[in-house]
Structure 1
Amino acid sequence: MSEDVVYEDEVIQAVDRARVAAAWWAGLSFGERKERLLGWKRIIASRSDELSAVIHEETGKPVGDALLEVMLAVEHLDWAARRAGHVLGRRRVRSGLLAADQGAALEYRPLGVIGAIGPWNYPVYTPLGSISYALAAGNAVVFKPSEHTPRTGVWLAGAWAEAVPDQPVLQAVTGDGAVGAALCRAGVDKVAFTGSAATARRVLAACAETLTPAVIEGGGKDAMIVAADADLDAAAKAAAFGGFGNAGQTCAGVERVYVQRTVYADFLARLTAIAETLRPGADDAAPYGPMTVPAQVDVIRRHVDDAIDRGGKAVVGGPEAIRAPYVHPVVLAEVPEDSTAMTEETFGPTLVVNPVDSLDEAVRLANASRYGLAASIFSADRRAAVGVARRLRTGAASINAVLGFAAVPALPFGGVGDSGFGRVHGADGLREFSRAQSVTWRRFRAPMDLMSFGRDPAVLERAKRLFKMRHG
């Protein structure tokens, strides 16, 4: 028997167990599910040091960064548990004049079993953005963590089994891409995937075989726009954190910076001063750690080389900054817009800073990317910044901050284009893992019975006159 068949058998068995668990879980009330979800939350929070150590060991990120990730994930879990009943519970809706004899209600029902395929860069925060909301909506989940962070996924599933021993509502299945492919084909009711756009296409191809719907987050090439009136110190600090934090392995961080020309040199000098002080390392005092996946180093090198070969300037770092498994900060300037450093997701501690003559030009260049996940705008004029945000082809934007939306559980998160589709987090995230069910009931005999074969022509004529009075 081939290894892939073993994977498929194991995944199918997990999905079969989840199907039974899903029926039990969906049969609980929102309050009963909330109680159990909050019990899981308390285990994660009380043992956050233990979980952070596992994340550190698997990804290399500083323990402090791992702890922050856990804290953010727990905030979302808490929100989903407490708000699911309000968002998804049964509520009456207006029937309208034509159906005045009908009562009407809407509620959201669980889909069943969700297959969640998680990434390695944020192995708790990112997958729990799907898992927490799917569980709160009443689904069972089979979670396939990245092959680079399997222990983190197993830890989360183990904590769930401790909090909710009744049924395997959350299970982890570990392995490489073959396990993920098997999960897509195993008859789950929806797949939630986070990863590269290239892998997302393979996930969708596998899901298409069984018409399994999916929510996709496929990465980003996120832009920051710095207006001439911006607080340049704040903008430079934010660009450094968004670009270099977590070794640049943040899908919604910062990779491109567009600065109005009148303050371009000043901004670049401030960013350079920060970047030159940062030294990655293995200890928790380091600002960031090694690259989690060795192959990513080659991607970074290729992008840096292409930027310089095409006329860009290495203001900080350059090819010599790439010393696997670490990549020291790289700041590139005046890089052509068609360079791979501008068009492909680098996913490393590099920033490209280019001047623009106007905010209109900045918006045009930011929107030229095939990605559309997140962006940030720095300006003293908040109203103008909001106007810029509305013109950006992204799923999220932060004004005078980076990643501000990540800590707001009520806000949905997701992208457009190669950044994917569908949403996690917030009310939209709860509905993403639910199906709307509409129910009507006869309240009284209709004064004008039009929904029958014995319809009176005189009644239809009266209805027509009322219709024209109302809508004509």
Structure 2
Amino acid sequence: MLGMPGSVITTTRPVLLEQAAREHLRVHSPIDGALVGLIRISDETEIIDAVRTARATLPAWSGTSATDRGRRIRAAASAVRGVIDELAALQHAETGRPVTYARAGVLAGVEILERYAELGPVHRGRSVLGKQAAVDLTVPEPLGVVAVLTSWNDPVAVSCGLLGAALATGNTVVFKPSERTAHLGLRLAEVVASALPTGVLGVLSGDGRTGARLTAEPGIDLIAHVGSAETGRDIAEVAARAGTAVLLENGGNDALIVDEGVDIGWAAEQTARAAFAETGQRRASVERVYVHRAVAAVFQHRLAAEADRLAAGSGRFAETWPSDDELGPLVDRHSRERVHDQVSEAVAQGAWALAGGRIPRGPGAYYPATVLADCTPQMRVMREETCGPVAALRVVEDFDQALTEAAQDRHGRAATVLTASMSRAQRAWRELPVGTVRVNSVAGAGPGSDVRPRRGFGTGLSFAFGPELLDEMTAMKVVHLGLAVPGERPIKRVVTAMYGGEEEHDA
């Protein structure tokens, strides 16, 4: 076993190669294809037991004061901080993410846990105006057992956000991390659970079949999932039949508009950062780029030069992007094939690869930074999530066309506008039907300021890990307290003269 303490339901363990069978996950490094490890997949009995244990521990945990829950979560944050380097190394091994980025992601997870340790105790209901002889109020209560399923591309921060919000509000959790970050997910669960009472946090390991079985378990009250749109659709269907609450953030196809009048070199650098950083696998990565015809020729040339500068390399990375000269791998070769299929299909339909567009030789799952010109709205690379280092360019005649086409997004997650015009910036954030609009900056936002997608691939108010997520993790109960007691003398209001005026008091 991975040394899982009693506070975690132990359902997985690495095994020796000769013991491996079909019931084990094989995790390979996308850097060189080497085997990272083997982890046993949780079976049906373990899934049922995990949910039952979470249900059994729910009354005690929900009955714990919010202040004491906050102390526990703060201790969990401290424990995670103590293993930052270990978690970053695991993420690098399993996903190829540069260690510097991985450390930043772990630190973000620590800060999110600390945030919920503070926000949980001050989460509150409201009083409601009613009759004079009554008190009406709303009180937040835990939803119950929460199934948390997370993605591989920002695994620690996202997991800490969902776990922190669920635990702070008195829910118990069964956690199934992505199979692509199985070792990382198990270790993170072990560390967080070490600060919690036994059974409050359970962890399962497996692929999509394990997640599907978990979400179909009758004892689940809320499913919180960050991952692919396809998986999100399946979860939504299962939850609709069972009446289970859901929080989903699924996929993205974010747009970026390059307006006339901007500094072309700056715009190219911003676009490259948005599309290619972390190999285009961030939740906030830009995939569609709409360029004003007045600047299109020069911009395309400059962006292609930025892409050519980023070589798919051996995994050595500088401290900050975009000063590094190498691009990391995609998470696995299956993802690379999917990215390349979209690129090849676009080229066959008339797009031009100004940079990249070819699978490099050698081990690993590397793919070059790719710039596609002459893209049309009908191409899959413009309509579907790519999740790779690909910038699909479309030349537009004016800002109106850019806004119109950028808004044609079934995800509605985010969009970015680079413009020298304040009035156009105002139009963009008002008119684009997305959860987040960035103006003249492709990265950076205050804590809790990034909200969920607007369309069919997100439900719930916020996955930005701010105070709103606490509302989504709870059910509001309305309480009406009538003040009159049967047989008690009714209250009468008496008015008496006082200092030339009148005063009301009880008789």
Would you say same fold, with TM above 0.5?
Answer: yes
Letter in 1 for 2:89: A
Deviates more, 1:257-266 or 1:335-344: 257-266
Aligned position for 1:465: none
Aligned position for 2:493: none
Aligned position for 1:458: none
Percent identity, aligned pairs only, is: 34
Distance in 1 (CA, whole Å) between partners of 2:178 and 2:379 is: 30
Aligned position for 2:144: 112
Alignment pair present for 1:214 and 2:246: yes
After superposition, residues 413-452 of structure 1 pair within 5 angstroms as: 413-422=451-460, 423-424=462-463, 425-443=465-483
Letter in 2 for 1:170: L
Distance in 1 (CA, whole Å) between partners of 2:380 and 2:296 is: 22
Tell me if structure 1 keeps the 8 A contact 2:42–2:206. no
1:349 is displaced (CA, Å) by 0.6
After superposition, residues 403-418 of structure 1 pair within 5 angstroms as: 403-405=443-445, 408-418=446-456
Bigger helix fraction:
1
Letter in 1 for 2:120: A
Secondary structure in 2 matching 1:416: coil
Distance in 2 (CA, whole Å) between partners of 1:141 and 1:382 is: 46
Tell me if structure 2 keeps the 8 A contact 1:51–1:152. yes
Secondary structure in 2 matching 1:106: strand
Letter in 1 for 2:436: A
1:364 is displaced (CA, Å) by 1.0
1:170 is displaced (CA, Å) by 1.7
CA distance 1:386–1:147, shift in 2 (3 Å): same
Tell me if structure 2 keeps the 8 A contact 1:272–1:316. yes
Letter in 2 for 1:179: T
Tell me if structure 2 keeps the 8 A contact 1:118–1:193. yes
Tell me if structure 2 keeps the 8 A contact 1:120–1:146. yes
Bigger strand fraction:
2
Letter in 1 for 2:203: A
Tell me if structure 1 keeps the 8 A contact 2:370–2:390. yes
CA distance 1:402–1:23, shift in 2 (3 Å): farther
Distance in 2 (CA, whole Å) between partners of 1:64 and 1:318 is: 27
Tell me if structure 1 keeps the 8 A contact 2:232–2:457. no
Distance in 2 (CA, whole Å) between partners of 1:176 and 1:420 is: 22
Distance in 2 (CA, whole Å) between partners of 1:429 and 1:234 is: 35
1:384 is displaced (CA, Å) by 3.3
1:3 is displaced (CA, Å) by 7.1
Aligned position for 1:331: 371
Give the counterpart of 1:81 among 117, 120, 125.
117
Tell me if structure 2 keeps the 8 A contact 1:93–1:106. yes
Aligned position for 1:27: 63
Letter in 2 for 1:77: L
After superposition, residues 326-365 of structure 1 pair within 5 angstroms as: 326-365=366-405
Letter in 2 for 1:182: R
1:191 is displaced (CA, Å) by 0.4
Distance in 2 (CA, whole Å) between partners of 1:388 and 1:271 is: 23
**RMSD of equivalent CA atoms:** 2.3
Aligned position for 2:50: 14
CA offsets per residue over residues 133-154 of structure 1, 9 Å max, x none?
1112221111101111111111
Letter in 1 for 2:59: A
1:198 is displaced (CA, Å) by 1.3
Letter in 2 for 1:396: T
CA offsets per residue over residues 70-92 of structure 1, 9 Å max, x none?
12222222222211233x32443
Tell me if structure 2 keeps the 8 A contact 1:321–1:329. no
Letter in 1 for 2:129: R
Deviates more, 1:288-297 or 1:315-324: 315-324
Aligned position for 2:306: 274
1:358 is displaced (CA, Å) by 2.0
Aligned position for 2:499: none
Aligned position for 1:394: 434
Tell me if structure 1 keeps the 8 A contact 2:42–2:205. no
Secondary structure in 2 matching 1:417: coil
Deviates more, 1:378-387 or 1:116-125: 378-387
Give the counterpart of 1:292 among 326, 331, 340.
331
Distance in 1 (CA, whole Å) between partners of 2:71 and 2:250 is: 33
Aligned position for 1:457: none
Alignment pair present for 1:181 and 2:190: no
Secondary structure in 2 matching 1:74: helix
Secondary structure in 2 matching 1:327: coil
Tell me if structure 2 keeps the 8 A contact 1:219–1:418. no
Secondary structure in 2 matching 1:119: coil
Tell me if structure 1 keeps the 8 A contact 2:340–2:359. no
After superposition, residues 147-226 of structure 1 pair within 5 angstroms as: 147-164=179-196, 166-186=197-217, 187-226=219-258
CA distance 1:282–1:432, shift in 2 (3 Å): farther
Tell me if structure 1 keeps the 8 A contact 2:416–2:438. yes
CA offsets per residue over residues 172-224 of structure 1, 9 Å max, x none?
10011121011112221100111211121222233234221211111011101
Distance in 2 (CA, whole Å) between partners of 1:118 and 1:149 is: 10
1:273 is displaced (CA, Å) by 2.2
Deviates more, 1:326-335 or 1:312-321: 312-321
Aligned position for 1:303: 342
Distance in 2 (CA, whole Å) between partners of 1:212 and 1:190 is: 6
Letter in 1 for 2:337: D
Give the counterpart of 1:312 among 351, 354, 368.
351
Letter in 2 for 1:220: G
Letter in 2 for 1:228: E
Distance in 1 (CA, whole Å) between partners of 2:347 and 2:389 is: 16
Secondary structure in 1 matching 2:285: coil
Unaligned runs of 5+ in 2: 1-21, 25-40, 318-324, 486-507
Letter in 1 for 2:447: P
Tell me if structure 2 keeps the 8 A contact 1:75–1:409. no
Alignment pair present for 1:93 and 2:128: yes
1:382 is displaced (CA, Å) by 4.3
Aligned residues: 437
Give the TM-score, by structure 1 length.
0.87
CA distance 1:231–1:42, shift in 2 (3 Å): farther
Give the counterpart of 1:370 among 398, 403, 410.
410
Letter in 1 for 2:451: F
Give the TM-score, by structure 2 length.
0.81
Tell me if structure 2 keeps the 8 A contact 1:63–1:284. no
Tell me if structure 1 keeps the 8 A contact 2:312–2:368. yes
Give the counterpart of 2:291 among 233, 251, 259.
259
Alignment pair present for 1:125 and 2:157: yes
Letter in 2 for 1:168: G
Letter in 2 for 1:370: R
1:15 is displaced (CA, Å) by 1.0
Deviates more, 1:286-295 or 1:433-442: 286-295
CA offsets per residue over residues 74-132 of structure 1, 9 Å max, x none?
2222222211233x32443333xxx3432222221111111011111222122333222
